Amino acid sequence: MLPTHQQIQQAAYAQWERGGREQGFALDDWIGAEQDLVLAMNYEQIAHYFLDEQRYQFIGSNANRKCRYCGALPPAPFGDTSHALPAFIGNTSLIANDECDDCNTFFGGTIDDSLGKLLLPLRTMLLIGGRNKVPTHKMNGGSFRLEYDKTSKGLAIKDTLSSPVLQENLENRTISADLTTQPYVPVRLLKCLTKMALAIMPEADLVHCARPLEWIRGANDEQGLEDVREGMTFLSFLPIVFPRPMASLFKRTTLDHPMPAYIFCVGVASLLLQSYLPLCSLDDLWSGRQIASPRLGHVAMSLEGPTQWSVIPVKSATVVKDTTMQVGIKYESRHEVSRSPSL
């Protein structure tokens, strides 16, 4: 089901009016209203979790353990505290009782590892902590260093005047940089997001997901790659900050137009990751047809302007090395320290 021109026009005007923005944002409001309507008219939210609750929240039974991913039962080990979603995207409270130790170890060393390496520069810039702390990002043999400073509760940056990594706009109080990511495997990014979606999926829906459950556990990343659809995995930067890290799963309710059965998103700080769930049996009816996914987070209700979004390439099993990610932040204050070279 697609919105009419009149529906989009009315929603876009209301969005533009609420935002109090200048006329120059009219196109962004139109696109944003269209995407929001597509989502509202074709999907329902079937799972939503805040990831920073004061107490642990558990998925699965502690008394009757069964691994959601491989089907293992005790005496298979379930001794680890398995985060249902990785800690590096802000999850401190959502714990999986239905993930065995073997699956937890495998995911942590493969698909979680790849997404964590891709996001490392962003985790530092956006002050997103992991299990212990905000990671430090180093480049150029250590001559560039970006880390969290506990005293100021902000970023401490080490750079060189001769070959600076950071570019600063003093008038706008912004800094930007091209930061290198660590080596990662693109298809594992999609596998990791798929695993997160499956982790919070209501148990009744798992009957449609036998293939993705098997796929994410496959050691051969080439297997199933031909079924991966490119262009439906997004990374977005919002001009606002999520009050709390969260994860949501949406399920398609209509069959009028080819759209994925499930859409997953996870947001922390001002970062939003979104993906469809591949290999789902509910999408078999679209076999051989082009399908499109509505985007979340591409326009935010903020006076700061529209969200910046980009497609994450995932249709490859080849390790990607020496790639850069352009990042930028706006700061409130800065303190510069100059150090003379040691003799």
**Domain map (residue ranges) of the chain:** 5-50+185-318
**pTM above 0.85?**
yes
- pLDDT tens-digit profile, the chain (343 residues): 777 878 877 777 776 666 655 554 566 777 777 778 888 889 999 999 999 999 999 999 888 899 999 999 999 899 888 999 999 999 999 999 999 999 999 999 999 999 999 998 888 888 888 777 888 888 877 788 888 888 877 788 887 877 788 888 888 888 788 888 999 999 999 999 999 999 999 999 999 999 999 999 999 999 999 999 999 999 988 777 888 999 999 999 999 899 999 999 999 988 999 999 999 999 999 988 999 888 876 554 455 566 778 899 999 999 999 788 877 777 777 777 665 554 4
Rounded to whole angstroms, the Cα distance separating 86 from 174 reads: 30
Q: Are 208 and 281 in contact (CB under 8 A)?
A: yes
User: Angle CA(82)–CA(85)–CA(87) in degrees, nearest 5?
Assistant: 80
Q: Where are the alpha helices (DSSP H) in the chain?
A: 5-19, 26-42, 101-109, 111-125, 186-200, 210-215
Rounded to whole angstroms, the Cα distance separating 209 from 217 reads: 13
Q: Are 286 and 227 in contact (CB under 8 A)?
A: no
| Closest C-alpha to 180, from 133, 120, 234 | 120
